Structure 1
Amino acid sequence: MVEWCSEWWFRKNPNWCLGMALFTSNSGSSLFRRILSNTLDRTVRFRYEHNINDYSSEPPSEATVQAWTNAANCAASWLSLGGEDSPDCATTLPERAPLCRALHTAVHVLCTWNEAVSDSALEACEACLAAVRAAGTSGGAARHEGAARALLADLAALAAPLFAAHDAPNSLNEELLAAVITCCVSVSEGHARALVAAAEDAAPGARALLQLLLAAQAAPGHYPLHETRSNLVFGLWYTLQDEILHKVDGTGKINPLWREVFTQLLMTLIKKSEMPPESALSRDDQELLRRYRQDIADIVMYCYSVLGEASWSLAERAHSAAASAAQREAALHVFLALADAAPYERAPAPLVAQLQHALRVAAQPDAPDLALLHTALDCLGAYATWLSTLEGAEGAALSRECMRAAGAALPRCPAPAALALRKLCLDCSAPAAALVADIVHVAQSAGGSADAWTRRQLLSAAGAALAASDPADAAPLLRGLARRLAHDLTAQARAGGKCGAAECVSLMSALSPQPALALQLFRDLRPALALLPAAPDLTQPMFQILKQTVGAVVPDIEPIVEDVAQLIIAGFETQPCPVGMDVVKHFIVLVGAEWSGAPDLLRGAVLASARAVAPGPAPGSAPGTASRPDLAEALFSALAALIKKQPHVVDWIDDLLPDLVDLACGTVRAWEARAAAAACYWLAALAPRRAAALLPLAPRLAHAALACIGGVTPRNQMEPLAELLLALNRVQWPAVGAVGVAQGGAASGALGAWLRAALAPAGFPSAHATDAHKQKFIQAVLREKNNKRRLLESVQEFSLACRGLIGTEYARQSLASKQMVA
C-alpha cells in the first residue's frame, strides 16, 4: 500500500522523488530505500513507456519533454544522492538496463525531431544522459561485465548517428555533443576493464565506441575557436592505457589492436596541436589553448607507454608530410612532449631525424613563423640531457650544432633561444667548452638589448661553458664578463642604473664547479660590491651575490674571508635582511672554527637583526611582537641551525640571550606562521643548552604557548608548539632560590607548575576549555618526554577543545588523519 501510494504521489508530484532521494541519503533508512527503489523503477517506466510511443508522425509535446526531464532528474538524483553509489546498493546494473535503454530512446527521439537541439529539448537530453552516467557507473556497476558491454554498445549506437550528422566546426549542437561525449567517457572510464576486454574480443559496439571516442578527440576545427568538445576525452586515455598495461603485466605483449588505436590517437593529437593564427585568439583563448596543448603533451606520454619508440617515427613522419608551418610546429610540439622518454646512450634514427628538423628551423636565418621557431628551440633545450648521454664524436657534433643554432636564433627569438642555450651548456659540457669563446661573446653582446631574464640565462650558459673549460683558457674570457657586470653594479649604486646583481648570481652559480673561477669573479666584483651597502635598497642584492659566492668557493674561501666579512658587516649596519642572515649562517658554519673574527661578526649581525625586528613597542602592539616577521624568521632559523651544528656559538651571543629570548617569546604569539615556528624551534634548541638564560622568562613562555594552543595562532602552529613543550619538559631546570620557588622553578616540576599557574584562571586559554580538559592536557604534557608524536596528538586535542570543536566531525577527521599519518 505504501509503495502504491508513493507511486501515485510521484505521478502527481514528479519532484517528490528528488526530495525522497535526499531524505534517504541522510536517513539511511533501508525501508525508504527499498520503497523508493521499487517506486523509481515503476514511475520512470511509467514516464517513458507511457509517453514514448510512436513519434514517427509528430514530435513529443512540450509537456512530454518536461515529463522526461523530470523523470531523468529523478533517476539521476536517486542514483547519485540516494545511496545507489554504495557497493551494496539496492539495484544492480542489469536491473538498471531498461532505464538506460529508455533514456537512450528519449535522447534519440529528441535528436530526430530537432535539427538544432536547444532549450527544453537540450535540457531533457542532458538530464537523460546524466541519468545514464549515474545508472551506468554507480552501485558496483563494474562487477557486471556483461551488462557493461551491452551498455557500451548501446552508447555507441546512440552516439554514432549524432557524430556523423554534426561532426563539423562550429556545430549547432556543440552542447549536445559535449553531453554525449561526457556520458561516453564517464561510462567508459567506469568500465575500462570491460571495454578493453570487449574490444580485444571484437564484441559488438566496443570497437565502434573506441572509434567514436577517437573521432570526438579529432573534432574538426581549432580548439577553442571552432570546437570545445575534444578536451572532454582527455581523461579517458590515461585510464585506458593503465588498464591495457595492467593486463599485459608479466607477458609484455600488447594486443595489436591497441597499437592501432594509440597510433590513431597520436596522429590525432598531432593534428589537434596545430595552432590557429595568434591574431584570431583572445587572451582567454590563448590561455585555454596553452592548457589544452599541455594536456596533449601529457597524453602523448600515455601513447608512448603503448607504442614505445614508434612514437618518434610517427612524429617524424608527420613532420615530413607537413605542408604548412603550423603542421610542422604541431609535430615538433609532440616531439617535445616525448623528450623525457628519450633513451639514454642510444640514438634512434627517427629521434635524431626529428631533432635535425628542429635544428634546421632554429638555424634558418629567415624563419617567418615565430611559433615554429619557439617550439624548435624548446626541443633543442629539452633534449639536452639526452644529448649529454651520447658517446662519441657524433653526439658531440650534434650538441655543438644545437648550441650554434640556439645562438643564431637569439636575435629573432631571444628568451627561448637563451633558455635552450643554457640547458645545452649545463648538460653538454664538452661541446660547451669547445664553443666557450662564442658563448661568452654572445652573453656579452646581448647585455644592452636583451631583457633581464634573457641576460640571466645567457650568463648562466656562459658560466657553464667557462666551468667546463680549462681554467687557463677561461680566465681571460671571464674577466671580460666580470668587467661588464662590475660596470652595471657601479651604475646601479651611483645612479640607479639597471640591476646587475641577479646576473652576477646566475654567473656565480654556474661557476660553482670551478671554485677558482668563482674566486676570480668575486675579486673582480669586489670594488663594485663595496658601493652597494651605501644604499639600503641595494643590501639585499649584495647579500644575494655573497650567498652564491660563499656556496661557490667553499673549498677555497680562506683568501676572501676578510672581504666577505667586511661586506656582511657593512650590509647589516645599513639594512639587515633575511638573505643576509642566511649568508651569516653559511659563513659561520664554514669559517667559524678557524677564523677569529667569527664571534664579532655573528654578534653584530644578530644584534642588528634583533633591533630591526623589534625597534621599539608600537602603540597598541603586544610587547616583543616582531615588526618584520620575515627577518624574525630568518634570525631564529639561523640561530637554531647554528646551535645544532656548532653549539659553542651560544657563548658568542651570551650577553644578547635575555633580549633574544624576550623577542622570541613575543614572536611565538605572532600570527605569521613561519616566524612563530622559527622562534619555537630556536627556543626548543636553546633550552637544553642555556636553561639558566631561559628560566626568568620560562613561565611567560609557557603562558604564551598555551595561549597559542588555545586560539591566538592558527592550528597549523601546533607542531612547533609541541616541539617547544617537549624541549621544556626535558630540561633539568636549575633551582635559583626564592625566585625559582616563586616561579615554580624547582627542578622536579617546573613546567608542571608553570602550566598549572597559567591555566588556573577561568576562561584561559578559552571559555571552552574545562578543568577536566586542562588537567588531562597537563598530565599528557608532563608524562611525555620522548615521543613527539604522542605529545602532538595531545596538543591538537587540547587545541580543538579550546576552540569548541571537540565532538564535531571536523575534530574526528582531524585527529584520525594525524593518527593515520603517524
Structure 2
Amino acid sequence: MAGTLAGVELNAENVEKAVLQFYQSSATQETHQWLTIAQISPQAWNFAWELIRPEKSPEVQFFGASCLAVKVSRYWAELKAEQHPALRKKLLDTIVTYQGPKIVLTRICVAVSGLVIHSVSDNWQQPIQDLINMFQPHITTENMRPLALLLELLTVIPEEFSTLLLPSQRRAQVRNHLTGSLTGMLQFLMQVLNQQTNSEVSIQAFKCIQAWVQFGVPLDESGEIIERLLAAVHDEELSDVAFEALSSMVTHPDTHKYPNHLMALLKRLIPLDRILIDYIGEGSYECALPVLTLFISFGESHSRLMIDWATSSQDGRESVLRLISTILYASSCPAQFPTQETISEMPFGFWYILQDDIIACEPDQYQQCVALFGPVYTALVNTMLMKSMYDPKDDQWTADQRESFRCYRTDIADTIMYSFNILRDGLLHSLLQHLDSSISACLTSPAAWPALEACLHAWYAVAESLADSDEEEANPLLSMFLAKLPIIPFSKNIRVFSTVLDCIGGFSDWLAMHPQLLPHVTPIVTSALGNTELSLAATMALKDISRDCTDSMRPYAGEVIDAIHQSTVSGCLNTGEIIRLMYPLGKMLALLPTQQILPRLEPILSPHLQLINSLSLSPAPDQQTRQKIIFVLKLLGSLFQTLNITRRSDDQPESETSQLRNSLGEPVDQPVFIILKQFLPMLDKVCQNNPQDSEIIDSVCALLKQSVSTLQDEIRPLTQDVVTLTMTCYRATPQPAALDLVKQFFVMYGRETEMEGPLKSLMCEICNISLRTIQSGATMSDHADLIDCFFAMLGQVLKKQAGLFVNNELDSLLLLQCAIHTLTMPEQHPVKSAAMFLTQLITVSREVENLVPLVNQHGEQVFMQVMKCIGGESNRTFIDFFTDILLALNKKYFDNMCRYMNAMVSTENFPSPLCSKESKENFARLVLKERANKRKLQETVREFSLLSRGLMGSEYASQMVKFGL
C-alpha cells in the first residue's frame, strides 16, 4: 500500500484529525473508508502507538488500540521474525502500565491475545504461565486491578482463538498448546476463587472458566470447579455467569468420554429444577433463562447417553425423566407466546434431537424408548395443542408479534411431526379425540374455535410424515379424520376454515390413494373459492389435489370447472390467485372428452383474450395496462402448463402418440395448439407495441417457452411463427427468456436434416445480436444476465447438438474471445456459464472436425486467461469453474497442455509475482498428472491460487479484498 491515500499522508497526526472528525458528527463515508484503510495499512504499526498515549482523547486512544488489535491479529505476516520480540515487550509493557479507559484496555487485551496465538510454541514457549508470573507481583489486597486485568486477558485469549483466521495446521498447533495449558489454568482460577471474596473478580474468573473449557473438560479433574460453580448459582450476583460456565462445560464434545462423571454431574444439576419451576411459576421468565439453557444444553448434547442411562438402570431412568419433565414444564409454561413469554420456544431443538436418537436405536432399545418416552411425547403434543392456539385478541398485536407467533406455530408443527415418529397411531387416536371434543365444544360455543383450529393445525403437521409412511394406505384413522371434515363448523370461523383447506391440500397424496373420500372434501374447497379471506388457501388446496388426484377427479371435473369459472368472474380473487387457478383448470379440462374442452374453456378464457386484444393496440401503455397484459400472459402460461391431453409412454416413440384422434379416428389438435395459433397475432401486436418493455417481452417468451414444453413435437406447424416472434422480441430487446426458448428448438430439431439450415441461420443471428449487445455496454457487467443465459444456451447446444457449430457463417473465434473475456467478470453466473461453454467446446471439439483448429490455435490464450484468473484476476470463489477447463484441456489436448505449462513456467511474474519458478513447476507437474480425478485437481488449483494471491497459510488479505485492495 502506498504511503498516501487520496492525497493525505498516513501518519498519526492525520489519523487523529480524521478520528476526531468522525466522532464529531461531521464524518462522511469517505472519512470512514479512509480510516478503515488506514487501520489495515502497514503504517498502522507505527502510528498506533502514538494514538494510545494518555494525553490523547479516549476516541483516539480507542482507534489506536483497535489498530494494534487488527494488525496483530490479522496482519501478523507483515512482520519479520526479528521484529517479534520488540513487539512483545512493547505490548506487555503497555498493558501493564496503561491507566486509561476500560474500553481501550480491552482492545489492548485483544492485541496481546493475538500476539500469544501467533507466537505460541514458535517464539514463546510458555505464554500463559509467563503472563500469570508477570502480573502476580503487582496483585495486592488493596489493588485488585492487576488481577482483574489478568483475568480479562486470559479470558480474551481463547475467545480470540475462536474467531481468528488461521491455517488449519497452525490452528491445530495452537489448540494443542492451549489444551496443554488447561490444567494449570483451571488450578490458577481455583486459587483465585478460593482466595478472593470480591464478586467482580469471581465473575471474571467464571467467565475465564467458560472461555477455557473449549479446550477440554476433564470431568475427572474438574470436581472442585463444578462444586464452586454449583454453589455460585444460588448467589444473585454470580448465578448467571455460573450457569453459563456450566452450560459451556456440559456441551463440550469431550465430556462423552466420562459417562460416569457426566451421570454424577446430571444428578447434581437435577435439583436445580426447583429454581426453574419457581421462576416460571412466578412468571419470571427472563430469570429462568440461564437454568433452562443449562438443562436444554445438557439434553441436546447428551441425548444418546440419556437414552442409554434411561434404558439400563432405574437410577438413570429417574434422573433422565426428571430432566425431561423439567424441559417439558418449560415448553408448557402458562402464558401467551410471544406477548407474555418467549422461553417455550427454546426446547424445540431438544425434542427433535431426542426423537431422532430414539428412532436410530436398535429395535429392542427402540421399543423400550417408546414405552418410556411415549407418555412424555403425548404430554408434549397436548402442550403444543394448547400453546398453538390463536389469541382471539391477536388483532391488537404488532406485526412483529404476529410474525413471531407464525414462526412459533411452524416450530410447533415440526415438533408434532417429530412426535408422530415416536407415537405413530397413538398420536392419531389422540388427535381424533381432541378433534371430537373440540368440534363438540365449538358447536356449543363458537368462541371455542381456537382449540379446534389448533387440532386441525396438528393434523396438517403430520400430513407430511403420513405421506412418507409405508403404512399410510392401510391406516383407517386418516379416513376417519377426513370423513369428519364436512361436519366441522368451519363456516363460523375463517381461521378454522382456512386450516381445514390446508389439511385437504396437505393430505392430497393420501387422497390420491383413497379417491372415495374426494366427495367429502372437494365441495369444501370449491365453496371457498369465492371468499376473499379464504381464496389463498382454497386455490392452493385445489392446486394440490388436482395435481395429486388428477385421474380420481374425473367425476368432479365439471363441478370444479364451474366453480373456477364463477370465482374468476366474482371479483373476489386477486390476480395471483386467478393465475394459480389456471393450473387445476387445465388439469380438469384435460379429463373431459376432447370435443368438450374448448366449449368449456371459452367462457372462462374469452374475457381475458378480448382484454389483451384491446390492450395490444395501445402503442404506449400506462403502468396499469402493462400489468393487465402481463397478467393475461402469466394466466395463459399457467393454463398451458397442465392443459395437455396427450398421453405419452416412456416405451413408445413420441411420434406414435403425439397425433391425437377423436372417436371417428380423425386427427385432433391439442387445445393449447389451437389457442396459441389464435393468440399468436395478438402476441405479435403486443411485442410490436412494447419492443423495449423487458417485463412484457420476458412474459411473452415465458409463455411461448411453456407452449413448446407442453406441445413438444406438436408445435412443429407453428415453429416458424414462434421463432419469428421470438426473434422479433430479441432484436428489439435481447432478453434471457428468448434464449431459453430458442434453446428448446435447437435441442428438439438439431438432428433433423431439413431443419439444419434454418437452425444454423438462427444460431448465427442469435450470436450476432448477443455479441453486439454485449459489446454495446460500458462494461460487460451491464449485460451480466444476458451473458449468463447466452453461454449457458451455447453450452447446452454444444452438449446436445454440437453439429450446429459446423457453420461457416458462425464466427466461432468471436464467441471464444467473448467467453475468454467473460471469465474475468465479477459476477458468478456469467463466469460459470462461460467456463461451462469453454469446457464443452474443448470436450466436443474432438468430435466436430472444424472445431479442432479453433482449439489448437487459441487454446493457449484460453489457458493463459484461466491462469490469470486463478492467479488473482478473478474472485477466489470461482476457482472450481476454471478447474473444469484445465481438466478438459488435460483430457483432450494433453500435448498442447504440456506446451502451455512450459510457457507458463518460463514466463516471469506470471500469473503472479508471488509464484516462484519452482512452485509453478510443481503446479504443472501435479496438474498434468490428474486427467481423471477432478477433486484432486481442484485441491491443487486452490492451493496454487492461494499462493499466487499471497494467502497461503493466512486469510488476512480477505479484509483487503473487501475494500478492493
C-alpha distance in 1 between matches for 2:341 and 2:828:
46
Q: Choose the corresponding residue for 1:308, options 420, 424, 431.
A: 424
Structure-2 change in CA distance of 1:280 and 1:105 (3 Å): farther
Distance change in 2, residues 1:251/1:192 (3 Å) = closer
Partner in structure 1 of residue 506 of structure 2:
382
Cα contact 1:479–1:524 (8 A) shared by 2: no
What residue in structure 1 maps to residue 868 of structure 2? 707
1:10 & 1:335 partners in 2: Cα distance?
67
Q: Which runs of 5+ in 2 are unaligned?
A: 1-128, 162-173, 442-447, 647-657, 659-669, 958-965
In the alignment, residue 107 of structure 1 is paired with which amino acid?
V
Distance 2:435 2:755 in 1: 65
Partners of 1:266 and 1:300 within 8 A in 2: yes
Q: Taking structure 1 as reference, are residues 443 and 319 closer, same or farther at Cα in structure 2, changes over 3 Å only?
A: same
Residues 99-248 of structure 1 correspond to what in structure 2 (within 5 A)? 99-110=225-236, 121=237, 124-138=238-252, 140-164=254-278, 166-167=280-281, 171=283, 173-200=284-311, 201-203=313-315, 204-248=318-362
Query: Which residue is equivalent to 2:390?
Result: 275
Say yes or no: does 1:460 pair with 2:583.
yes
Give 1:655-734 correspondences, 5 Å limit. 655-687=810-842, 688=845, 689=848, 690-695=851-856, 697-729=858-890
Structure 1 counterpart of 2:216, one-letter code: E
Residue equivalent to 1:802: 948
Q: 2:922, 2:733 → 1: CA distance?
A: 47
Write out aligned runs for 1:340-379 (5 A): 340-342=464-466, 343=469, 346=473, 348-360=475-487, 364-365=490-491, 367-368=492-493, 370-379=494-503
Check conservation: 1:578, 1:635, Cα contact below 8 A.
Answer: yes
Indicate the residue corresponding to 1:764 in structure 2.
910
Residues 117-167 of structure 1: CA distance to partner in whole angstroms, max 9, x if unpaired? xxxx3xx22101112223334373234344333433333322224413542
Runs of 4+ in structure 1 deviating by more than 6 angstroms, as ranges, are 2-8
Q: 1:506 and 2:638 equivalent?
A: yes
In 2: Cα distance, 1:656 partner to 1:330 partner? 65
**1:54 paired residue number:** none
Question: Which of 589, 596, 599 is residue 473 of structure 1 equivalent to?
Answer: 596
Whole-Å separation in 1 of the counterparts to 2:726 and 2:873: 37
Q: Which amino acid aligns with 1:269?
A: M
Percent identity, aligned pairs only, is 22
Q: Is 1:44 aligned to 2:193, yes or no?
A: yes
1:519 to 2:651 alignment = no
TM-score (norm 2): 0.71
Of the three residues 733, 736, 745, the one matched with 1:587 is 745
Mapped contact 1:667–1:676 kept (Cα < 8 A): yes
After superposition, the C-alpha distances for 1:693-726 in whole angstroms (9 at most, x for unaligned) are 3455444333322221111111232233233234
* Inter-partner Cα distance in structure 1 for 2:594 and 2:796: 35
Does residue 611 of the first structure (1) align with residue 611 of the second (2)? no
C-alpha offsets along residues 215-253 of structure 1, whole Å, 9 cap, x if unaligned? 100011111101011111111112222333334435652
> Contact 1:106/1:125 (CA < 8 Å) preserved in 2?
yes
- Structure 1 CA distance, aligned partners of 2:362 and 2:917? 63
2:459 to 335, 350, 356: 335
Pick aligned residue for 2:534 from 406, 413, 432: 413
Give the TM-score normalised by the residue count of structure 1. Answer: 0.83
Contact 2:417 2:462 in 1 (8 A): yes
Aligned to 2:377: 262
Whole-Å Cα distance in 2 between the matches of residues 294 and 616 of structure 1?
46
1:397 aligns with one of 506, 519, 523: 519
Structure 1 gap ranges (5+)? 52-62, 86-90, 111-120, 733-747, 812-822
| Partner amino acid, structure 2, of 1:664 | A
Indicate whether 1:644 and 2:795 are aligned.
no
1:313-328 equivalences under 5 Å are 313-322=429-438, 323=441, 324-328=448-452
Match in the other structure for 1:115: none
Q: What CA distance in whole angstroms lies between the structure 1 residues aligned with 2:551 and 2:306? A: 51
**CA drift at 1:328:** 1.5
Shift of 1:198: 4.5
In 1, Cα distance between the equivalents of 2:523 and 2:918?
A: 76
- Structure-1 separation of matches of 2:743 and 2:253: 59
Q: Distance in 2 between matches of 1:655 and 1:313?
A: 70
**Aligned counterpart in structure 2 of residue 285 of structure 1, from 397, 401, 422:** 401
Task: Tell me: CA distance 1:290–1:74, structure 2 relative to 1, closer, same or farther (3 Å).
Answer: same
2:666 paired residue number: none
Q: Against the structure 1 CA distance between its residues 609 and 749, is the aligned structure 2 distance closer, same or farther, given a 3 Å change threshold?
A: closer
Instruction: Tell me, yes or no, if the aligned pair for 2:280 and 2:333 is still in contact at 8 Å.
Output: no
Distance 1:609 1:572, change over 3 A: farther
What CA distance in whole angstroms lies between the structure 1 residues aligned with 2:778 and 2:673?
Answer: 50
In structure 1, which of residues 393, 416, 422 is the aligned counterpart of residue 543 of structure 2? 422
**Separation (CA, whole Å) in 2 of partners of 1:254 and 1:468:** 51
Output the CA distance in 1 between the equivalents of 2:681 and 2:216: 76
Residue by residue over 1:241-290, the C-alpha shift from the partner in whole angstroms, topping out at 9 and shown as x without a partner, is 23333344356524423111110011111111112233232122222222
Give the 3-state SS of the residue equivalent to 1:799 in structure 2.
Answer: helix
The answer on whether the counterparts of 1:426 and 1:461 sit within 8 Å (CA) in structure 2 is: yes
Cα pair distance change 1:162/1:427, threshold 3 Å: closer
Whether 1:572 aligns to 2:695 is: no
2:554 corresponds to: 433
Distance 1:794 1:165 in 2: 58
| Counterpart code for 2:189 | L
Aligned length: 748
Distance 2:899 2:822 in 1: 23
Specify which of 93, 96, 110 is matched with residue 222 of structure 2.
Answer: 96
Q: For the Cα contact (< 8 Å) 2:756–2:804, is it kept in 1? A: no
CA distance in 2, matches of 1:300, 1:513: 41
- Do 2:582 and 2:639's aligned partners in 1 also have CA atoms closer than 8 Å? yes
Q: Which amino acid aligns with 1:262?
A: Y
Mapped partners of 2:320, 2:860: distance in 1: 73
* More divergent stretch after superposition (689-698 vs 414-423): 689-698
1:241 and 1:305 in contact (8 A); partners too: yes
